[in-house]
A and B are shown apart, each in its own frame.
Chain A
Amino acid sequence: MSLLLGAFTIGLILALLALGVYISFRLFNFPDVTAEGSITLGAASTAALLVAGAHPVLATVVGTLAGAAAGTMTGLLHTRFKINGLLAGILVMTALYSINLHVMGKSNVPLLTEATVFTAAEAAGLALNQGNPDINVLGWRVRAGEAGMLVGALLFALLITAVVNWFFRTELGTAMRATGDNPQMIRALGVNVESHVTLGLALSNGLVALAGSLLAQYQGFADVQMGIGMLVWGLASVIIGEALIGHSRLGLLLLGAVMGSVLFRLLVAIALRWGLNPNDLKLITALFVLAALVAPTWLRSVRKPKATGHA
């Protein structure tokens, strides 16, 4: 049960990553590799600040802003210097690897004794349960602290989803979506496409870094390697979410990304439990995303027999 709760919580934390990837990949049609660096940057800067004795909320906010700055950098490289989007992301991601090492001072920072936002959620869970360490949920014994963290992560993920949904329905947010959809059109309506793309990448990487910051606080360490494969992970969540929702309304799609993240994490936890070699995890994730990207076109060509020969 503890394993399941943990998978749920991590899935909800990584839902923020999925939201960030949704913004760059789907709204801006920009496969932004910066995410792999900015998730670590969020974790690294939060961990460094926590070790230095900063308040967890402050440390989380700074981690988020650091990610937004990284996204801004990618955006500027792409829009001002006309560097291919994929390459711009790779450049910033590579640079971030060194920066992350500098921020942490070493390749791994443990957060075993530091107070984090999750220790607060844990304490709240215990307090709500009148100090009793266990809760009975439908006959299952659940640790109150873990339940507190899960509920905290859930509420926070929903809150952020609502805020993102609201933002992309404002005048500014709608213009940003149009920027990703048809830059020529929105430019003719007076919008500075370059700055809107940059802002979108800042927002996306801010969310990704927030996910990194929370993940470090939840699992109790930040590691310079933790970003590897995270973009594909986010993509998998987005794709699962779209399959779950099958609808084009923005709010539902964002919610779908959150659900996709949780579901994907659960599937992974179960697969690992059944004896999947953890070394194969990234290979399988990549194959999954590949299949999800290829399947729609492939299915269409199978369903519609080729009209060859006579017209």
Chain B
Amino acid sequence: MLEIQRISKTFHPGTPNEVAALRQVSLTLESGEFLVIIGTNGSGKSTLLNAVAGTFLTDSGSIVLDKHDVTKWREHRRASLIGRVFQNPFSGTAPSMSIMENLALAARRGMPRTLGLLPGRTLREAIRTRVRSLNMGLEDRLENAIGSLSGGQRQALTLLMATWRKPKLLLLDEHTAALDPKSADQVLRLGGEIIEKEKLTTLMVTHSMTQAITFGTRIIMMHRGAVLHDLRGVEKQRARVDDLLGRFEAIRRREQLDAGTAEMLRRQYV
């Protein structure tokens, strides 16, 4: 479904702030796979997600999604294949527009915007039904501005919006990191249900090890813009929080060792 071939991205090239955010990353995702990406801060996990979404174009490599080579596609064009939930609950919805209007816009994701009135009657009913199924009591507030809702409610609606038209790929970028534990749990569960029911191919970035082992069918661990570990199948099912933490610890120690070795060499030879 998704085939990433050796993509690289360097931000601010040629300046003191140069960052090699992605180094020759390759990744293949089968249809229906739910991949969780974990990694340290600055490991490139969100950058990888943004590269797939088309927030920027990569410096090299190729991205093929659902048999379309989207490498050169701009963000809004890729949106016809991709549903997306952002980390910031305010990013995914238009605050001064109503719940109804937000969902109606999402129902036309990636489709040409015509001069037909939005939303039509059937869509209006469908939206009411789906919002009621959230059990948040929002079905009575459909005409209210979405900006008046809580972060959790907005994120739940964004999930609904991202998956209203079944996307070829769903991107979740630490979508519960900014929520209180209760809302986070609610949104995670809702996401899990939708993904399972619609058999969505999903990429989820998280920094929660618990989320990583609870959700998904596969885990990759990123470090310094590259994929370090790839756990799938039985290995993923058996993985525990401690195992993942252990692997992070190993990375940390190896880096310390590298730094220590360098220091020793410097003392001896310089």
Contacts and interface: CB of A to CB of B under 8 A. Distances in A.
A174 B100 CA distance: 11
B109 A181 contact: no
B96 A186 contact: no
B183 interface: no
B79 A182 contact: no
B116 A181 contact: no
Interface in A184-225: 184-193
Interface string A124-165: 000000000000000000000000000000000000000000
A248 interface: yes
Contacts of B97: 174, 177-178, 181
B86 interface: yes
A175 B115 contact: no
Nearest to A184: B91
A186 B105 contact: yes
Nearest to A249: B143
B109 A189 contact: yes
A69 B209 CA distance: 55
Contact of A188 (B79, B95, B96): B79
A189 B165 CA distance: 10
A172 B110 contact: no
A280 interface: no
Nearest to A179: B94
B193 to A, nearest CB: 22
A121 to B, nearest CB: 30
Contact of A170 (B77, B110, B117, B145): B117
Nearest to B164: A189
Contact of A191 (B93, B113, B145): B113
Q: Indicate the size class of the contact surface on chain A.
A: 20 to 34
Interface string B93-123: 1111100011011101111011111100000
Nearest to B53: A188
Interface in B112-142: 113-118
A187 B101 CA distance: 16
Given A174-B101, A184-B91, A189 B116 contact: no
Contact of B117 (A169, A182, A186): A169
Contacts of A172: 113-115
B107 to A, nearest CB: 9
Contacts of A170: 113-118
A188 B102 CA distance: 12
A166, A177, A190: residue with the most chain B Cβ atoms closer than 10 Å: A190
A187 B115 contact: no
A248 B76 contact: no
Most chain B CB atoms below 10 A, which of A167, A170, A181, A185? A185
A190 B108 CA distance: 9
Contacts of B93: 182, 185
A186 B94 contact: yes
Contact of A189 (B86, B91, B110, B114): B110
Contacts of B91: 182, 184-185
5 contacts: A170-B118, A171-B116, A171-B117, A181-B95, A185-B94
Given A182-B90, A184-B86, A192-B74, 20 more contacts: A167-B115, A170-B113, A171-B117, A172-B114, A174-B97, A174-B105, A177-B97, A177-B101, A178-B105, A182-B93, A182-B94, A182-B95, A186-B94, A187-B75, A188-B86, A189-B105, A189-B161, A190-B80, A190-B108, A190-B110
